[in-house]
Structure 1
Amino acid sequence: MAIGLAFLKIPVTDLSRAVDFYCQGFGFTADFVSDEYGWAQLGGADIGLALYVSGKGGGDGMPGQDRDFHLLAPDLDALLAHVAPHAPAAAIATNDDGSRSLDVKDPDGNGLRIMEGV
């Protein structure tokens, strides 16, 4: 039996603001949004992303805490150009192993690291 990944969940304080940030900054689509449940499922990438308001049914994570995942994108320079108007502090780093990563903080202070790769 194979088990896959349904989506990554990110805790947020303002669902509408977070949905706008991820959709406008990264090009995700808002596939399902429920203010009542404090939950949004985003599409438009190889992996599903879910945003949730802590304590409303999606989990109890605290916004702004350390991430425990890295995302993947083929062209960090193009992604930085797209997300920079929404996250001016976003920056690309060259890591000690020669890989490159883009570090971005969302409006709640959640840190995202996006690795460059195919």
Structure 2
Amino acid sequence: MTLGLAFLKIPVTDLGRAVDFYCTGFGLTADFVSDEYGWAQLGGADMGMALYVAGKGGGDGVPGQDRDFHLAADDLEALLARLTPLTATAAIVENDDGSRSLDVKDPDGNGLRIMARS
């Protein structure tokens, strides 16, 4: 049996602002957005990805908590160039184990780590 990441949900406070950040910064698409339900489904990733406003049906997570997932990308430098106009928090990190990652915080303070795909 092989396990993989099927779906990623991220709690946010302002759905429109978060959708803009993820679509502009990561090149994702807003496939479905409902302000009424506080929910947005994003396309363009290798997994299902959604943003939700806590307490509106998507879950009760707290925006800005520590990350508990890592994403992967082929070109960290190109991703950094896309994110730099959107946030001052994006930076490439050389990790102690020899791997490289791009660490960034979204507008709600959710920490994201994007690992360089080997």
Q: Percent identity?
A: 80
Correspondence for 1:57 = 57
* Residue 73 (structure 2) pairs with residue 73 (structure 1): yes
Correspondence for 1:82 = 82
Distance in 1, matches of 2:73 and 2:5, equals 17
Residue type of the alignment partner of 2:74: P
Distance in 2, matches of 1:3 and 1:89, equals 31
Correspondence for 1:100 = 100
Q: Unaligned regions of 5+ residues in structure 1, if any? A: none
Distance in 1, matches of 2:7 and 2:84, equals 24
1:87: how far off?
A: 1.4
1:3: how far off?
A: 6.6
1:4: how far off?
A: 5.3
Runs of 4+ in 1 over 3 A off after TM superposition: 1-6
TM-score, normalised with respect to structure 2: 0.94
Counting matched residue pairs gives: 118
* CA RMSD after TM alignment: 1.4
Q: Unaligned regions of 5+ residues in structure 2, if any? A: none
